[in-house]
A = this chain, B = another copy of it.
Amino acid sequence: MATDPFDRQTSDRNHETFDKHRALLDRAVAACRSRESWTAFPDSPSAHPGGAQAREQGEAAFERQLGRPFELDAPGVFAVQDDEVSPYTGEPLGISYPRAGADELFDAATEAWPRWRDASPATRTGLCLEICERIFLKNFEFAHAAMHTAGQSFGMSCTGSGTNALDRGVEAIAQAHAAMSRVPETARWSRRFGTTDVEMVKRYRLIPKGVAVVIACASFPAWNVYPALFASLATGNPVIVKPHPTSVLQMALAVRVCREVLAEAGFSPDLVGLAVDTVAEPVTKDLVRHPLTRIVDFTGSAAFGSWVEANAFPAVAYTETSGTNSVLVHSVGELQPVLRALAGSMCLFSAQMCTSPQNIYVPRGGVPTGDGVVSASDFADALAEAVKAISTVPKRAAAVMGAVQSGNTLRLQEEVIGLMAGRGRVVLEPASYIHPEYPGARTGGPLLVQVDVADHDLYGQERFGPIAFVIECDDADQALERAARDAREHGAITAFAYSTDESYLDRVEAAYAVAGAAVTCNLTGPMPLNFSAAYSDYHVTGLNPAGNASLTDDSFVAGRFRVTQSRRPA
């Protein structure tokens, strides 16, 4: 039978680190197989291992960092990151980070690599888990960094960018562990050739591919960086993390924890490097095209993602971009819970998530409900009211919507309103709200417009941010056909459907399965529609232009290392 690499005999003291986390890893592997609910990191602040004072300490650590150089003993020359401005205060963070050329970063990573490459999978996995736990200890400091770069609410910064993102990281470590464990360390093999029995002993080594570049997005970096970073690092590759220039701090903190843990364990900290650039002088293309790049993970726009996919060769690229997420409203029992669920999802982090719904299809003849048919216009108006119940109540808006990461997002709303001229109806004008704690925060309420299915030029592409379309269509089957086709052709990560007709939901599930969007049916209540659970929900399918990689399936980890073998007569 296959040898478990974690049973491999070794004098490596880092096995202790692995043993410490073995139960956690076993539980994570089991959760990936059963896809039941599990988390390694409690969401509740009261359950944080740092105790009652952890939150204040985290905030204080963040405050201390503002306006100062970010301590990192890494290649590069320190320079203030002018692009990093808090969406909450409008003030620059004023932090200096080391800026290094691509060659410097690759040289450092390459020099650091051999010992890590040759370390046992157990050592590498154990240290990756240790990094996750250390990040969790600093969850509140990381959360303040997420808030003041991405613009997330404090609650989302602690969970979506904190505990949930770390769970996606542990999930990737677990899948990497499982994949590496499937290759035995040795085998004994015999076969008859002519009249002779030939017996061979064979050894199989797991060899990582080489330097991995992880390119983060501005609004939700942790959720994609952690899986990519740990999938590459656990399988033995050095990693260069390239945050978005407007959203560096949280990823810089993560890189620092990685470097600390690696150095403590006797490895070179340069196994995890930080590449910082500016909006004016971006370096991402240089990193992707660097001759030593072997792996690229990218999260960002569809346009840049396509460029990465087409230009990463000979590196392998794992991408997540964006798309036209849809909602199909066929028929409902009670309308209000559906509207509340949709409104909540449209408002959540001001729809700056790759899973936020955009295109809401309703039948031209109205939506059948338990209380009669609701016309498309009445549906749209009622949905606007449900949105306003969040977006115009500052305390709720602050908790749900947070701030807007980029001013450009608000301009995109204006652009759509301009394109509407002579067509459809603006149901809800976007309206900012005054944040109770940060009166200078850049905020923006959802724009809701009502259009016809014929107005495909308006809704047939991603309109990033809080922009939603109520789309009148002939019937729910036409809606499904249009939405599934847009998913296939223009990308989609999520889809949502409401129907009291089981056969319609069956058609919906079948169509989106082929179109490659995860579909959620008839969900109402307190769970956000677009909540995606590590260990259970596959995120992105790789079947449409919204990305070629999935968190976290076998193919996300299997190509990051290779097997080489040697054999000798026994």
Give me the interface of A with B, judged by CB distance under 8 Å.
Answer: 1-2, 33-37, 117, 179, 182-184, 187-191, 193-194, 196, 198, 200, 202-205, 207, 209, 309-310, 313-314, 505, 509, 512-514, 516-527, 533, 536-538, 541-543, 548, 550, 553-555, 558-559, 562-569
Query: Given A194-B526, A533-B191, A536-B189, are A512 and B35 neighbors across the interface (CB < 8 Å)?
Result: no
Q: Which residue of B lies closest to A187 (CB)?
A: B35
- Contact between chains at B198 and A509 (CB < 8 Å): no
- Contact between chains at B187 and A36 (CB < 8 Å): yes
Query: Given A36-B189, A189-B533, A527-B193, are A518 and B565 neighbors across the interface (CB < 8 Å)?
Result: yes
Query: Given A313-B309, A521-B568, are A541 and B526 neighbors across the interface (CB < 8 Å)?
Result: no
B contact residues around A524 at 8 Å (CB):
569
Which among A184, A189, A200, A564 has the greatest number of chain B C-beta atoms within 10 A? A564
Instruction: Among B1, B523, B564, B568, point to the contact of A569 (Cβ < 8 A).
Output: B523
- Contact between chains at B188 and A567 (CB < 8 Å): no
B contact residues around A198 at 8 Å (CB):
525-527
**Dominant secondary structure of chain A at its interface with chain B:** mixed
- Contact between chains at B521 and A567 (CB < 8 Å): yes
Q: List 18 A-B contacts (CB under 8 A).
A: A33-B182, A117-B514, A189-B536, A198-B525, A198-B526, A200-B523, A207-B513, A309-B313, A310-B313, A505-B568, A518-B566, A519-B565, A521-B566, A521-B567, A524-B569, A553-B558, A553-B562, A559-B559
Instruction: Among B190, B207, B505, point to the contact of A514 (Cβ < 8 A).
Output: B207
- Contact between chains at A543 and B37 (CB < 8 Å): no
Closest 7 CB pairs of A and B: A35-B187, A555-B558, A554-B558, A193-B526, A509-B566, A513-B564, A555-B559
| Apart from A521-B567, A537-B567: 18 A-B pairs, beta carbons within 8 A | A35-B202, A36-B187, A37-B189, A117-B514, A189-B533, A191-B533, A193-B527, A198-B526, A209-B542, A309-B314, A310-B314, A512-B566, A513-B566, A514-B564, A520-B566, A521-B566, A522-B568, A555-B555
Q: In the complex, what distance in Å separates the CA atom of A505 from the CA atom of B207?
A: 18
Distance in angstroms from A437 CB to nearest chain B CB is: 22
B contact residues around A564 at 8 Å (CB):
512-514, 516-518, 538, 541, 543
Q: In the complex, what distance in Å separates the CA atom of A184 from the CA atom of B194?
A: 45
Instruction: Among B313, B512, B548, B563, point to the contact of A553 (Cβ < 8 A).
Output: B563
Q: In the complex, what distance in Å separates the CA atom of A537 from the CA atom of B33?
A: 28
B contact residues around A536 at 8 Å (CB):
187, 189, 202
Q: In the complex, what distance in Å separates the CA atom of A508 from the CA atom of B566?
A: 9
Q: Which residue of B lies closest to A554 (CB)?
A: B558
Distance in angstroms from A72 CB to nearest chain B CB is: 29
- Contact between chains at A538 and B204 (CB < 8 Å): yes
B contact residues around A519 at 8 Å (CB):
565-567
Distance in angstroms from A443 CB to nearest chain B CB is: 24
Query: Given A187-B536, A553-B563, A554-B179, are A209 and B543 neighbors across the interface (CB < 8 Å)?
Result: yes
B contact residues around A37 at 8 Å (CB):
189-191
Q: In the complex, what distance in Å separates the CA atom of A194 from the CA atom of B548?
A: 34
B contact residues around A559 at 8 Å (CB):
542, 555, 558-559
Query: Given A313-B309, A553-B562, A555-B558, are A568 and B191 neighbors across the interface (CB < 8 Å)?
Result: no
Which among A190, A513, A533 has the greatest number of chain B C-beta atoms within 10 A? A513
Query: Given A189-B533, A193-B526, A568-B523, are A541 and B512 neighbors across the interface (CB < 8 Å)?
Result: no
- Contact between chains at A187 and B555 (CB < 8 Å): no
B contact residues around A205 at 8 Å (CB):
513
B contact residues around A509 at 8 Å (CB):
203, 566
Instruction: Among B34, B513, B514, point to the contact of A187 (Cβ < 8 A).
Output: B34
Q: In the complex, what distance in Å separates the CA atom of A52 from the CA atom of B533?
A: 60
Instruction: Among B35, B527, B541, point to the contact of A184 (Cβ < 8 A).
Output: B35
Which among A33, A193, A198, A563 has the greatest number of chain B C-beta atoms within 10 A? A563
Q: In the complex, what distance in Å separates the CA atom of A179 from the CA atom of B558?
A: 11
B contact residues around A209 at 8 Å (CB):
542-543
Which among A37, A200, A565 has the greatest number of chain B C-beta atoms within 10 A? A565
Query: Given A525-B196, A527-B191, are A207 and B563 neighbors across the interface (CB < 8 Å)?
Result: no
Q: In the complex, what distance in Å separates the CA atom of A555 from the CA atom of B316?
A: 12
Q: Which residue of B lies closest to A539 (CB)?
A: B565
Instruction: Among B533, B537, B550, point to the contact of A562 (Cβ < 8 A).
Output: B550
Instruction: Among B187, B513, B525, B541, point to the contact of A193 (Cβ < 8 A).
Output: B525
